Structure 1
Amino acid sequence: MVDPQRVLKNLDELRTLTGDANGAQRIAWSPTWLKARAWFEEKLEGLPVKHHHDAAGNHWVTLHGDSDKALVVGSHLDSVPNGGWLDGCLGVLAALEVLQHFAEKYEGHPPITIKLVDWADEEGARFGRSLLGSAAFAGHATIEADRKRTDRDGMTLEAALAACGVDIERVGDAASEQKNLAAYLELHIEQGPILEAQGKPLGVVQGTKGVERWAITFHGQEAHSGSTPMAVRRDALAAAAKLALEIRQIAMKHPQAVATMGSVKTFPGIVTAVVGRCEATLDMRDLDAAILASMLAEARAASERFAAEERCTVEWSKIWSIEPIPFDPKLVELCREAIVETTGTVELLPSGPLHDAAEVARAGIPTVMMFVQSLNGLSHNAAEDTRCDHLELAVRAFTSLADKTAAQIQH
């Protein structure tokens, strides 16, 4: 029998064990994260399951069934520093409830295999490499680019993994876990304001938005701020500021698009000098690849225009990108059915943040996510919250989705 209260109790336990007054502190590859994983292993006691860690540090729990075809449910236990009490861990603990549900329903031997996965380092909070474990699983390990990444204390990612028993040379071997996987389901808080604004407790995620992330550098001329007339200045910050405002207008032309200039550095960076060089970052996202491409082209054209207006030059350097990832239409429909049957209402929406589910879908495994409403749209801080009755609905609907998906796989 599904017990949402058990999930809430586990969430409270985990918050007490691995958080403080500032929020959750389960940063991947840290002692607190390892403590969380050890606590989770204790929760498996008494269940007819086997578990292991793959080459990338992902934790797999398997309830073997009559068929090797497997339904996978999961998310991640790691958090950002001073994070919320639900981000990631809700999905893992709801998946544990699903695992327990199948074990009880079929007396330990379901018709198909059920797997739970706790992905390693979804957040990338310490070394800047998000989705590390799920990317390795999907065949997208970037070992050479990752091995020398350092945290603020100078420790390399390679050394941090080694301290947790993970050999960075072998993380790509995690792709072997793809065998016999028929579907992947993930429950997550929305981390945004849409469901609350619509008055809907739960939503079906259509897919994750594509991302274009670029470094933009405007080159002008350093000059004395007191003696240089305004009309002859070559102010790199002025050009960047114009672009920062323009990208807002570019994104607002499209209902689901977002664009952010999240970092600006000026040189020489003193109060008595006109800015000679301005380094900025740009992040653009949309679920439609064509819209994303048009936004990027428009932003580049705008940067050239504003650079010319300020008598500057501009150059672009790509940081990273990922294509939009649509989720499986059949699973989207099953998710919609499960939510409607549970709550009577549903919202379909894309995910702006990236999730492990995107990497699983990129590997060709049918995937869908379910969102539960976030209060005030807040996440990645201690104020993150969701109504307890909505969490209970989410656990029930997610278990129903797992039942429906398992039946589809079986037949």
Structure 2
Amino acid sequence: MVYQVASTLAVKGDRLTAMIRQLAQLGKLPNGGVQRLAFSPEDCHARSLVRRWMVEAGMTVSIDEAGNMIGRYPGRAQDAPPLVTGSHIDTVPNAGHYDGTYGVLAGIEVVKTLSEQGRRLDHPIEVIVFADEERTMVGCKAIAGRLLPDPELYRSRDGEPIQACLERVGGDWDIIDHARRTPESIAAFVELHVEQGPVLAAEQKQIGVVTGIVGQRRYWITVEGQSSHAGTTPMPMRQDALVAASQVVLAISQVGNQPGDQVATVGRMDLHPNVPNSIPGRVEMSLDLRDLSSDRLDQLLAEIRQAIDKIAAATGTSISMAQRLDNEPAPANSHIQHAIAQVCQDLDLSYCHLPSRASHDAQEMSRVTDMGMIFVPSEGGISHSETEYTSPADCANGANVLLHTLIQLDQHYRSSKAARAVVQA
């Protein structure tokens, strides 16, 4: 089927910009940034405002057991599962105005645009505000049925039990498994997000068609040497943990700099005893490794382990690795990618395909349904900072791409259902 974008149907960019600016006042910091930690008073106030905007756009609003706020705009077909979009409105400390928030508010603006035109799709549209994306991802993990049973893993940033956090926003940890969605309950999920990186700006593209969300492996590496006096221990007789750790950092960098899309990062290092006149006896550091292929991640880890074994032998140290995180890659659905690209062509917007190297709610939603993502540029590639910025024009472009992608997907899944019915008959 060939889709044709209706040029007269477009979001109101100034209205979207106004919502972004108004929401940024909740949790505003003196430096111009925003801090709305999940389940904080600022987050709860923001939820109330977003709920009001959802209702004004023509949606009914509910809260599931995981604290996800779900706005639903009805469709024409009685039995059609919803097309779902959305993101999060909680932030990291000292955040910008756009990460997560933009995807939620653009979804509301899309629904408001359809509502003002008196237009409904066959499928309902749901806009979800996912709970605590920035820290535990409890909301999207609950929908995907991938929560671990230990509530201690989902405490808030300040240590408050998740049971109390969810109760505050209308959720319920004791029956949180009721939030789980089945593949039959969602037609597709499309998340609109700022890129949070420099690729679109560098390539001078207006839209990013996301090919998938990278898998992430995180390890804690411990280097054990021998602490002793910095002045009295001859150089050849030392087991300097920091010297060995430095070589490990360089080896990880070399692995990450091979041809390919992988990235490898040592972002934290703790030194013991960490005094000027003692040789470091123990160093602990993080390893963050990301790629779109699980097989590639396995290969890179094998190379890092091999390099570490050689470094340990050469320096007389002991080096161990303990896994802390294992998120599998989430490829974007090929049809959704094609629909996004087609809309860009119809709207005369430049675009390129690229992976997402950051985690998103879409990563967990891909375990439930067909998933796609749309990126818009982040000025300077900066995010998680008060200087994070995406222009009003780029925000409007992304919202229009989301609008028409949902319309195309509505036709696609309607046609697919009709085709399946013919085959079954």
Q: TM-score range by the shorter chain?
A: over 0.9
Equivalent residue for 2:73, pick from 63, 70, 73: 63
| Segment drifting more, 199-208 vs 170-179 | 170-179
Match for 2:34: what amino acid? A
How many angstroms apart in 1 are the aligned matches of 2:184 and 2:36?
Answer: 30
Q: Does structure 1 residue 136 correspond to structure 2 residue 142?
A: yes
Match for 1:27: what amino acid? L
| Cα displacement string for residues 220-249 of structure 1 (whole angstroms, at most 9, x for unaligned residues) | 111111111111111111111111122111
Match for 1:140: what amino acid? R
How many angstroms apart in 2 are the aligned matches of 1:361 and 1:176?
Answer: 12
| Segment drifting more, 149-158 vs 233-242 | 149-158
Q: Which residue of 2 aligns with 1:335?
A: 340
How many angstroms apart in 2 are the aligned matches of 1:150 and 1:221?
Answer: 37
Q: CA deviation at 1:20?
A: 2.1
State the SS of the aligned residue for 2:205: coil
| Segment drifting more, 95-104 vs 151-160 | 151-160
Q: CA deviation at 1:179?
A: 4.8
How many angstroms apart in 1 are the aligned matches of 2:401 and 2:248?
Answer: 44
Q: Which residue of 2 aligns with 1:293?
A: 298
Residues 147, 168 of structure 1: 8 Å contact kept: no
How many angstroms apart in 2 are the aligned matches of 1:336 and 1:156?
Answer: 43
State the SS of the aligned residue for 1:112: coil
Q: Does structure 1 residue 39 correspond to structure 2 residue 52?
A: no
Mapping for residues 174-253 of structure 1, pairs under 5 Å: 174-176=179-181, 179-253=184-258
TM norm structure 2: 0.91
State the SS of the aligned residue for 1:44: helix
Equivalent residue for 1:24, pick from 28, 34, 51: 34
| Cα displacement string for residues 342-395 of structure 1 (whole angstroms, at most 9, x for unaligned residues) | 2442110000001000100022x0110000011110000000011222122112
Q: CA deviation at 1:165?
A: 3.9
Match for 2:28: what amino acid? G
TM norm structure 1: 0.94
Match for 1:117: what amino acid? I
Aligned length in residues: 403
How many angstroms apart in 2 are the aligned matches of 1:76 and 1:229?
Answer: 56
RMSD of equivalent CA atoms: 1.7
Match for 2:373: what amino acid? M
State the SS of the aligned residue for 1:143: coil
| Segment drifting more, 284-293 vs 85-94 | 284-293
Residues 208, 352 of structure 1: 8 Å contact kept: yes
**Compared with structure 1, are the counterparts of its residues 370 and 170 closer, same or farther at alpha carbon in structure 2 (3 Å cutoff)?**
same
Q: Which residue of 2 aligns with 1:262?
A: 267
State the SS of the aligned residue for 2:267: strand
Q: Does structure 1 residue 90 correspond to structure 2 residue 102?
A: yes
Match for 1:294: what amino acid? Q
**Compared with structure 1, are the counterparts of its residues 272 and 158 closer, same or farther at alpha carbon in structure 2 (3 Å cutoff)?**
farther
How many angstroms apart in 2 are the aligned matches of 1:152 and 1:5?
Answer: 34
Q: Does structure 1 residue 281 correspond to structure 2 residue 286?
A: yes
State the SS of the aligned residue for 1:147: helix
Q: CA deviation at 1:66?
A: 2.6
| Segment drifting more, 298-307 vs 16-25 | 16-25
State the SS of the aligned residue for 2:413: helix
How many angstroms apart in 2 are the aligned matches of 1:74 and 1:164?
Answer: 18
| Cα displacement string for residues 157-182 of structure 1 (whole angstroms, at most 9, x for unaligned residues) | 44433444433232222104765210
How many angstroms apart in 2 are the aligned matches of 1:233 and 1:269?
Answer: 16
How many angstroms apart in 2 are the aligned matches of 1:249 and 1:225?
Answer: 30
What fraction of aligned residue pairs are identical, expressed as a percent? 33
Q: Does structure 1 residue 306 correspond to structure 2 residue 311?
A: yes
Q: CA deviation at 1:268?
A: 1.8
How many angstroms apart in 2 are the aligned matches of 1:157 and 1:229?
Answer: 53
Match for 2:252: what amino acid? I
Match for 2:67: what amino acid? G
State the SS of the aligned residue for 1:17: coil
Q: Which residue of 1 aligns with 2:84?
A: 72
Equivalent residue for 2:410, pick from 388, 397, 406: 406
| Cα displacement string for residues 73-121 of structure 1 (whole angstroms, at most 9, x for unaligned residues) | 11111111110100000000110011123323445x5322111111111
Match for 2:133: what amino acid? E
How many angstroms apart in 2 are the aligned matches of 1:320 and 1:74?
Answer: 25
How many angstroms apart in 1 are the aligned matches of 2:170 and 2:123?
Answer: 31
| Segment drifting more, 32-41 vs 252-261 | 252-261
Residues 64, 114 of structure 1: 8 Å contact kept: yes
**5+ residue gaps, structure 1:** none
Q: Which residue of 2 aligns with 1:119?
A: 130
Residues 264, 280 of structure 1: 8 Å contact kept: yes
How many angstroms apart in 2 are the aligned matches of 1:157 and 1:100?
Answer: 33
Equivalent residue for 1:346, pick from 342, 351, 368: 351
Match for 2:249: what amino acid? A
Q: Which residue of 2 aligns with 1:6?
A: 15
Q: CA deviation at 1:258?
A: 0.6
Q: Does structure 1 residue 374 correspond to structure 2 residue 385?
A: no
